């Protein structure tokens, strides 16, 4: 994490930031967040991230008293202050009051925290393992990107300890849902399949972009319920996320191996890269 952060309207040294010990969001994970890629000093697809945070905040009864443009500018200013033209940013809204143990009467309804850092190093070919009962798709907050992220973070830490890059989570119905921090895609005879949001997966921003650009690349990409049995008939597998973009999967433990990257994966990776460049060119004209 970089040495300067943005906290409630100010860029300050990380070591000087203080959060209330009675902050309900800190104590219970009551808040929303998103992770952004920074290219050329600009937050990619910020408006998509902002829209998703707004939806999730409404589900969590969380007040966001900032405008989209104010937070966008804050990310850009922090990236400049940290000399981080290429990297990643984390934007979090943390609820201050509520519940029996809160003591934040003199604070705003939510704290805004923005961090930046260097990119995470991911392998060229991912190694995944199956994780049964990894997601409860029937839950009220299924698919919400909220601060209460321990179920995913704990699985990822354990998975890394076992020598894998990520876990492929199954929901309570035994269906493929997502990885701990990425969406999953199967390629079968040139057609790309990805679990629907009803599986409990996150509405990933890269996933959203791929659904839009795939037809332009001559690739059919559809949402479809999938199970581990579908892994046996897949020709390629890849994941998508903000930090990984489009990343090939080489193996899924215990039984599956794939070419990495496959031709369809490469085609979508190129289509996504072209979209990023076009977006940044347009964003540069607005600044």
Average pLDDT over residues 69-79: 98
Alpha helices in the chain (DSSP H): 24-28, 46-59, 68-81, 150-161, 205-213, 263-286
Dihedral angle of Cα 257, 260, 263, 266, to the nearest 10 degrees: 140
Average pLDDT over residues 193-211: 98
Cα–Cα distance measured from residue 123 to residue 251, given in angstroms and rounded to the nearest whole number: 12
Model confidence pLDDT, tens digit, residues 95-149: 988 777 776 667 888 999 999 999 988 999 999 999 999 999 999 999 999 999 9
Helix (H, G, I), strand (E, B) or coil at 277: helix
Model confidence pLDDT, tens digit, residues 23-49: 889 889 999 999 999 999 999 999 999
Percent of the chain with pLDDT over 90: 87
Cα–Cα distance measured from residue 127 to residue 276, given in angstroms and rounded to the nearest whole number: 26
Question: What is the crossing angle of helices 46-59 and 205-213, to 10°?
Answer: 130
Q: Which two tokens stand for residue 209?
A: 């972009």
Average pLDDT over residues 274-279: 97
Q: Is the pTM of this model over 0.85?
A: yes
Note the pLDDT of residue 231: 98
| Res 210 pLDDT > 80 | yes
| Res 58 pLDDT > 90 | yes
Average pLDDT over residues 258-284: 95
* Tokens 């929901």 sit on residue: 171
Instruction: Point out which residues pair with 239 in neighbouring strands.
Output: 184, 247
B/e letters for 106-122, b = 16+ CB within 10 Å, e = fewer, are ebeebbbbbbbeeeeeb
**Domains, the chain, ordered by start:** 4-117 (3.30.470.10), 125-276 (3.20.10.10)
Model confidence pLDDT, tens digit, residues 147-199: 999 999 999 999 999 999 999 999 999 999 999 999 999 999 999 999 999 99
| Res 285 pLDDT > 80 | no
CA 200-204-209 angle, 5° bins: 135
| Res 5 pLDDT > 80 | yes
Average pLDDT, the chain: 95
Average pLDDT over residues 208-228: 97
Confidence of residue 19 (pLDDT cuts 50, 70, 90): confident
Cα–Cα distance measured from residue 143 to residue 279, given in angstroms and rounded to the nearest whole number: 26
Cα–Cα distance measured from residue 165 to residue 146, given in angstroms and rounded to the nearest whole number: 22
Note the pLDDT of residue 265: 97
Note the pLDDT of residue 115: 98
């Amino acid at each position: 994490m970089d040495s300067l952060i943005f906290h409630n309207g100010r860029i300050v040294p990380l070591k000087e930031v203080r959060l209330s010990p009675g902050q309900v969001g800190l104590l219970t994970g009551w808040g929303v967040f998103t992770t952004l890629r920074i290219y050329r000093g600009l937050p990619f697809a910020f408006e998509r991230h902002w829209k998703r945070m707004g939806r999730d905040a409404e589900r969590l009864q969380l007040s966001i008293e900032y405008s989209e443009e104010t937070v966008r500018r804050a990310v850009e200013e922090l990236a400049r202050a940290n000399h981080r033209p290429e990297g990643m940013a984390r934007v979090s809204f943390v609820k201050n009051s509520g519940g029996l143990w809160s003591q934040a009467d003199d604070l705003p309804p939510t704290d805004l925290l923005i961090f930046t850092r260097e990119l995470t190093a991911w392998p060229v070919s991912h190694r995944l393992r199956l994780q049964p009962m990894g997601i409860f798709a029937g839950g009220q907050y299924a698919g919400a990107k909220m601060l209460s992220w321990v179920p995913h973070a704990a699985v990822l830490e354990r998975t890394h300890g076992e020598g894998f890059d990520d876990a492929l989570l199954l929901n309570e119905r035994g269906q493929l849902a997502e990885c701990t921090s990425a969406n999953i895609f199967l390629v079968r005879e040139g057609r790309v399949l990805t679990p629907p949001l009803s599986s409990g997966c996150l509405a990933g921003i890269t996933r959203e972009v791929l659904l839009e650009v795939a037809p332009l690349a001559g690739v059919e990409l559809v949402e479809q319920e999938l199970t581990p049995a579908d892994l046996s008939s897949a020709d390629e597998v890849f994941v998508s996320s903000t930090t990984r973009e489009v990343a090939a999967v080489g193996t899924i433990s215990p039984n599956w191996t794939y070419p990495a990257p496959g031709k369809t994966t490469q085609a979508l990776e190129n289509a996504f890269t072209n979209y990023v460049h076009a977006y940044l060119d347009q964003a540069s004209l607005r600044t």
